[in-house]
């Protein structure tokens, strides 16, 4: 499994929760589910996703998915309206 597939797996785990915003704990849980329980793994994956701009931070301690960046991954997600703030996984 290459890095791109691993990123998609983590983002799908987040989308599965059907939340619009996430805490660092929520993101950590998705990473744990897909990549393992080691705290270094969780920290490294969070930093990787953050630095590659898969998340935006509208408020302190609150993260949202960067839909423009996620669209580049061609996830099996549907955007019904351009103003829609949530992706629906099909």
Express each pLDDT in 46-57 by its tens digit.
999 999 999 999
What pTM was estimated for this model as a whole?
Answer: 0.80
Asked if 15 and 77 touch (Cβ cutoff 8 Å), the reply is: yes
Q: Specify the higher pLDDT residue, 74 or 62.
A: 62
Tokens of 34: 């897909």
The mean pLDDT of 71-76, rounded to a whole number, is 77
Provide the strand spans (E) within the chain: 55-59, 62-65, 77-78, 88-89
Counts of helices then strands in the chain (DSSP H, E)? 4, 4
Out of 1.10.10.10, 3.40.630.180, 3.40.50.2020, 2.60.40.10, the CATH code matching 3-89 is 1.10.10.10
Residue 26, C-beta contacts closer than 8 angstroms, at least 6 positions apart: 14, 17, 19, 63
pLDDT > 70 in the chain, percent: 83
Asked if 66 and 54 touch (Cβ cutoff 8 Å), the reply is: yes
């Amino acid at each position: 499994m290459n890095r791109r597939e691993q990123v998609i797996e983590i983002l799908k785990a987040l989308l599965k929760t059907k939340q619009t915003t996430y805490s660092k704990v929520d993101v950590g849980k998705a990473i744990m589910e897909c990549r393992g329980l080691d705290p270094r793994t969780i920290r490294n994956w969070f930093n990787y996703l953050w630095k590659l701009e898969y998340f935006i931070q509208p408020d302190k301690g609150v993260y949202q998915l960067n839909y423009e960046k996620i669209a580049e991954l061609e996830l099996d997600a549907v955007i019904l309206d351009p103003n829609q703030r949530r992706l629906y996984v099909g």
